[in-house]
Amino acid sequence: MKTIVIALFALTYVLMLSVPKYRHFFALAVAGIYVVLGAVAPVEALGAIDWNVILMLAGTMGTVYLCIESQMPAAVADIMVNKLKKVKLIFVALALFSGFVSAFIDNVATVLMVAPIALAIAKKFNISPVQTVLTVAVSSNLQGAATLVGDTTSILLGGYANMDFMDFFVMDGKPGMFWIVQAGALATVPVLFYIFRNEKAVVDRGTVTEITNMFPTYTLLATVACLIGASFIPEKPAITNGVICMIFCIITMGQEFWLNRDRDKIKDTVVNIDFQTLLLLSGLFIIIQGITNVGLIDDISGLFVKIAGDNVFVIYTILVWFSVIVSAFIDNIPYVATMLPVVSVIAGTIGIDPTVLYFGLLAGATLGGNITPVGASANIAAGGILRKEGFEVSTKEFMSIGVPFTLCAVVTGYVLIWLIYA
């Protein structure tokens, strides 16, 4: 049984890497096979799915879509452009702005929202948009680890480690991942200024995009506020955060329908929820339960301990930089989902608080995707936008931006996480 389960697990990864379009199908198929084989009992399979994570993702996706449709983010970006005027400062600010937005909004959505502004400015001054669009993408990936709702990997960590929204700001009385990520973002500013060192043009004041509906912005802020409030509720139901996100999503959709009587907008909202990712995660949760049941998680964690002994610093270092390398080439969602229980077992085996390893895993896996053009969905989206404009981005060209950016952010996070939580 163990051999078959491990072989299927390996096959799942190979198929997801080879045919990413159907990765959700492969994950669900193998999860179903695990149930049929008896590696995971049917009731156990339903319990293995982290419904809090699923509901958080679905609810946040819906609210964010309506917020973007209301033109609020575009209006903010326009105001910022009018205030700064110098092209160099605008491009740097757009990168930092996209990073801040992606702390609360999906990385791909952030790129799709901010990149058109960068393109418009580049066209106006006959500047290649490659650098500015790519910096928007890599900055978005960086800030995904800043909050509980910033990225799927953060939501996965929060669900697995029972972390709340405020834990990303203050964890056990210490600065949380939000502040560590901001330090990493500051470390990348010199890289951004170097990239745009030759851009000296000045932008004329332009019009500000009209916001069509403020309500989605209010409900998005209310979602964050309620997630913060829920952080202080002791022994709350495990599904609390997911319910909060879904309730505000439904309220936002209801207001949109009441205001415009537009059934198509409601349908578009539902359609734009990334159901493939939700199905992928559901399948992965069951797969991970299966490989846990046969002892593979224990085997992997044992290998880490065998290599590093009980030296926490060595284990932490290997985990961070291994995560960076792996995430440069494969999707970080299945990787993080697989490694979370491994980290938990490692921490239990050597008798330490797992927080330093959890945050090290999150930092490495989130930022590693910035090394290559296929390492993160935001990078792929940015490449697609540029391709439509007639610009093909080579791997070398992407890495000339992604590698120094990643190294600055990862080294900063690597050092700070260790100093704060070791």
Cβ contacts of 219-227, under 8 Å, gap ≥ 24: 219/63, 219/248, 219/249, 219/251, 219/252, 219/255, 220/63, 220/64, 220/67, 220/104, 220/248, 222/248, 223/59, 223/60, 223/63, 223/149, 223/248, 224/104, 224/149, 224/165, 227/148, 227/149, 227/164, 227/165
Q: Among 147, 151, 146, 138, which Cα is nearest to 96's?
A: 138
3-state secondary structure of 86: strand
- pTM of the predicted model as reported, rounded to 2 decimal places: 0.80
- pLDDT per residue of the chain (422 residues) written in tens, 0 to 9: 889 988 998 898 788 767 777 888 998 999 999 999 999 999 999 988 989 888 888 888 888 888 888 888 778 777 877 787 788 888 898 899 888 888 887 777 778 778 877 887 777 778 888 998 899 999 988 888 898 888 888 888 998 998 988 999 999 899 999 999 999 999 999 999 998 888 877 777 777 888 888 999 899 889 888 888 887 887 888 888 889 999 999 999 998 888 777 777 788 888 888 888 888 889 988 998 998 898 888 888 888 888 887 889 999 999 999 999 888 877 688 888 889 999 999 999 899 999 999 999 999 998 888 888 877 778 877 887 788 778 888 888 888 999 999 999 999 999 999 999 98
**Domain spans, the chain:** 2-421
179, 104 Cβ separation under 8 angstroms: no
Give me the helices (H) in 294-376, please: 296-308, 312-327, 332-350, 355-368
Cα distance between residue 414 and residue 422, in whole Å: 11
